[in-house]
């Protein structure tokens, strides 16, 4: 077992896959000589050179199109978005090309492409750098969407994403790069389409992902002192949603709380609620509750920023409401 930061786990995954497969390469802004804004690609340029760790101009639509074209020829590009918000400039390439080409080519082309990078609400990064793009991409056919939350799942998921023959959007949270965890020294892979049972429990199922996993677990430490013991699932796969794991938990608890950093309108929670209400409504003993970010641009002011997102106290209050309903 190795004690490792999340950004190091991502770098290890990238390095291992590049070493084993010469078709894997990285491109993006400052990924080469600088080593990436959050050091996920640190030292990879000196090991693999300019042709496999490409520093690009500030032209997201251009280098995304180049990566998609490269994937059509059999290469396996990893595109790093310096901030995932910037990839809105490449939305056309991601939706109309990456997501659709396998289908529109009649299966003649695979698109083994990973698009990864930091997102989420950080520490006073301002509205344009605090986007949560999972809901933007969730409705696009042909994409897989994964959100890592720990060094362990970050490494196993990224290795699986790099080997997948479909385009994978791989979300990392800007405030999780420095969390540390012991992970196996032996190679391992994690499925891209499965939720993780973080904690068994009773009474209430809490669904969450990314940084909110840690917010929920902070709340759990307080709730247990008061006799509450909710079950916690980390969604990990945001497309497709692992509805089977959710249903297994719901059959046990019959109450559901969804905690996300995504905006409430059109967010990931909204899709889960729709699926549960459409197909598994009879499992519920109470209405589903969701805790989401406020539907406003994220303020730069620190106090206002913290008030737009979910905190542990909100989770505690929601669990108590659900438990007596």
Catalytic sites, residue numbers: 60, 129
DSSP string of 192-244, one letter each residue: TT--EEEE--SS-EEEE-TTHHHHHHHHHHHHGGGT---EEEE--EEETB-HH
Residue 74, CA atoms < 13 Å, CB-side half-sphere: 2
Beta carbons of 260 and 167 less than 8 angstroms apart: no
Which helix (H) or strand (E) segment holds residue 115: the answer is strand 114-119
* 8-state DSSP, 87: G
Cα maximum dimension of the chain: 60
Q: How many CB atoms lie within 10 A of CB 108?
A: 9
Nearest-angstrom CA–CA distance, 12 and 3: 13
């Amino acid at each position: 077992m190795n004690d490792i930061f999340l950004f190091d786990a991502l770098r290890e995954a990238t390095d291992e896959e590049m070493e084993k497969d010469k078709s894997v390469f990285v491109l993006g802004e400052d990924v080469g000589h600088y080593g990436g804004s959050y050091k996920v690609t640190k030292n990879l340029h000196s090991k693999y050179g300019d042709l496999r760790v490409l520093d690009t101009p500030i032209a997201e639509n251009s280098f995304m199109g180049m990566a998609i074209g490269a994937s059509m020829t059999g290469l396996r590009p990893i595109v790093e978005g310096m901030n995932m918000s910037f990839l809105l400039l490449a939305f056309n390439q991601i939706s109309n090309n990456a997501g659709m080409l396998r289908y529109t080519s009649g299966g003649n082309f695979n698109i083994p492409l990973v698009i990864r990078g930091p997102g989420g609400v950080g520490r006073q990064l301002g509205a344009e750098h605090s986007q949560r793009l999972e809901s933007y991409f969730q409705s696009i056919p042909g994409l897989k969407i994964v959100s890592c939350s720990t060094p362990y799942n970050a490494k196993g998921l990224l290795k699986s994403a790099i080997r997948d023959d479909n385009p994978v959007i791989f979300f990392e949270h800007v405030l999780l790069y420095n969390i540390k965890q012991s992970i196996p020294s032996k190679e391992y892979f994690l499925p891209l389409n499965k939720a993780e049972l973080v904690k068994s429990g009773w009474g209430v199922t809490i669904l969450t992902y990314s940084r909110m996993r840690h917010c929920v677990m902070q709340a759990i430490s307080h709730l247990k002192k008061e006799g509450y013991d909710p079950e916690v699932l980390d969604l990990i796969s945001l497309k497709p949603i692992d509805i089977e794991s959710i249903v297994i938990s719901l059959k046990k608890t019959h109450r559901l709380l969804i905690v996300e950093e995504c905006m409430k309108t059109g967010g990931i929670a909204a899709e889960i609620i729709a699926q549960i209400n459409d197909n598994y409504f009879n499992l519920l003993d109470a209405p589903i509750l969701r805790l989401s970010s406020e539907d406003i641009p994220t303020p730069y002011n620190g106090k206002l920023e913290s008030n737009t997102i979910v905190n542990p106290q909100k989770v505690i209050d929601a669990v108590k409401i659900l438990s007596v309903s």
